[in-house]
Amino acid sequence: MVAALKNRISPAHDLINPYETALEQYERATNRLGIDENVVEYMKWPHRELTVNFPVKRDTGKIEMFTGYRVHHSTVMGPSKGGIRFSTDVTLDEVRALAMWMTWKCALVNLPYGGAKGGVLVDPKSLSAREIESLTRRYASELIPLISPHSDIPAPDMGTTPQMMAWIMDTYSMTVGYAVPAVVTGKPINIGGSQGRTEATGRGVIVSMMEALKRHGRTVKEDIRLVIQGFGNVGSHAAAYAYDLGYKVLAVSDVNGGIYNPNGLNIPSVRSYVAETGGLSGYPSAEPVTNEELLLLPCEVLIPAAMEGQITGENAARLQTQFIVEGANGPTTPEADDIINERGIFLVPDILANAGGVVVSYFEWVQDLQAFFWDEEEIFRQLERILVKAYDATVRTAEEYNVDMRTAAQMTAIKRVAEALMTRGFYP
């Protein structure tokens, strides 16, 4: 049994542990801030962690056990907020890292939330529709002591969809006896979801990219070539929005590899192909590339939008990009950060670049609590306003302390949480 459990841990995390990355980033940021060491120690720790092992009846009648986690890193600023990931790479350390990054992300964009994250070790594609519903509902019921509109509000992340959020909302609602749309965000619109939530993260990535380009005087869209790793929720919507705006998207990828056309891909056609075939492989009018090769393609903007630990000490020196805009959480290791900074590649960090998702999740929660819904134009206007303001705050910190954008974004966020913590005090 122990061997079977160990087999579920991805070897990738033996090499790059996202929690080590998150803690190293935290140390770099807090070293420069000069805040009370008791506060620094307190904020380093996840507030609470739940591990659940639960059964799912397979279509064959066999019961299979699955492992899931939910970590609340912080509830200093408000209820904790963070996605749920279904992936065979999930580990407790990964969830801890993602929860910590959520705390800083929410603080950076000034949302009244702490940070959380959840995950289940499962390949959702390996289960039937009935099995995945059963797994999602059972995991949701295991989370009931933790989640509610006022304590912890989950959302989608890698491997999870609006339909799964609907099942979580329904499971919670059935337990309490009335409909509670605000318990989860990223739901379908017909049960209290928000306009614009599905595309919010990808769109926000492009808003942050444009802000970075504008501030570097790079305003001619036709001169900007993008390479995007990951063609899921974040990557595909980033690609679509960039394409609509007139940028050239040269390459995109999924878990099985990528496609590359030096003259630019027709993104609507790529999206139709993926909708029909389920993946990118075999897409005509493009060359196949591996994910490793894709990261090293010549471009102006590289957007990692798949998972952690992709840009490392091993490949950072060989990148051929001028800007990196992080759609994924934690795609760059601290060792790679040093190389990127030394090479003068300008990086817009994850907690800033991909904050569009949690911002529109916040709008969804507010709309659900008020039972009053906004139109898409209002959502995107407010989203852009908040992201540009956070970008501004990050640049001001970077200039004041003479630090890179990642350290600046984390310093800005950590300072806000630290001040709130000191105002609240240490209970009892």
Asked if 71 contacts 117 with a C-beta cutoff of 8 angstroms, the reply is yes
CB nearer ligand NAD, residue 77 or residue 102: 102
User: In terms of CB distance, is 328 or 417 closer to ligand NAD?
Assistant: 328
Closer Cβ to ligand NAD, 80 or 229, answer by number: 229
| Tokens matching residue 273 | 């192909």
Is the CB of residue 357 less than 8 Å from the CB of residue 382? no
**Smaller CB distance to ligand NAD: residue 33 or 406?**
406
Rounded least distance, CB 226 to ligand NAD, Å = 16
Question: Measured at CB, which residue is nearest to ligand NAD?
Answer: 232
Amino acid at 276: E
> Sheet containing 323-325: which strands, arranged edge to edge?
287-289, 257-260, 248-254, 225-229, 301-304, 323-325, 346-348
CA-nearest of 103, 100, 164, 82 to 129 is 164
Q: Are 100 and 65 in contact (CB under 8 A)?
A: no
* 332: its two tokens: 């760059």
Query: Quick one: angle between helices 267-277 and 233-245, nearest 10?
Result: 150
Contact residues for ligand NAD (CB under 6 A)?
Answer: 156-159, 201, 229-235, 253-255, 291, 305-307, 327-329, 354, 357
Q: Is 214 a catalytic residue?
A: no
Tokens 């279509």 belong to 59
Least distance to ligand NAD from the beta carbon of 358, Å?
A: 7
CB 299 within 8 A of CB 226: yes
Q: How far apart are CA 186 and CA 153, in angstroms?
A: 10
**Minimum distance from residue 253 beta carbon to ligand NAD (Å):** 6
Q: Which is nearer to ligand NAD, 79 or 154 (CB)?
A: 154
Least distance in angstroms from the C-beta of 361 to ligand NAD = 8
Bridge partners (DSSP) listed for residue 62: none
- Whether residue 420 contacts residue 111, with contact meaning beta carbons closer than 8 Å, is answered with no
Query: Which residue among 117, 125, 187, 221 is the active-site one?
Result: 117
Task: Write down the least CB distance from residue 386 to ligand NAD, Å.
Answer: 14
Of 168, 135, 178, 157, the closest CA to residue 233 belongs to: 157
Q: Is the dihedral of CA 243, 248, 251, 255 positive or negative?
A: negative
Distance in Å, CB of 428 to ligand NAD, minimum: 36
Least distance (Å) between residue 272 CB and ligand NAD:
16
Q: Is 53 helix (H, G, I), strand (E, B) or coil?
A: strand
Side-chain-side CA neighbours of 172 within 13 Å: the count stands at: 23
Nearer to ligand NAD, 362 or 418 (CB): 362
With beta carbons less than 8 A apart as the criterion, state whether 40 and 93 touch. no
In the bound state with ligand NAD, the residue whose beta carbon lies nearer, of 328 and 411, is 328
Distance CA 272, CA 340 (A): 35
Residues with catalytic annotation? 117
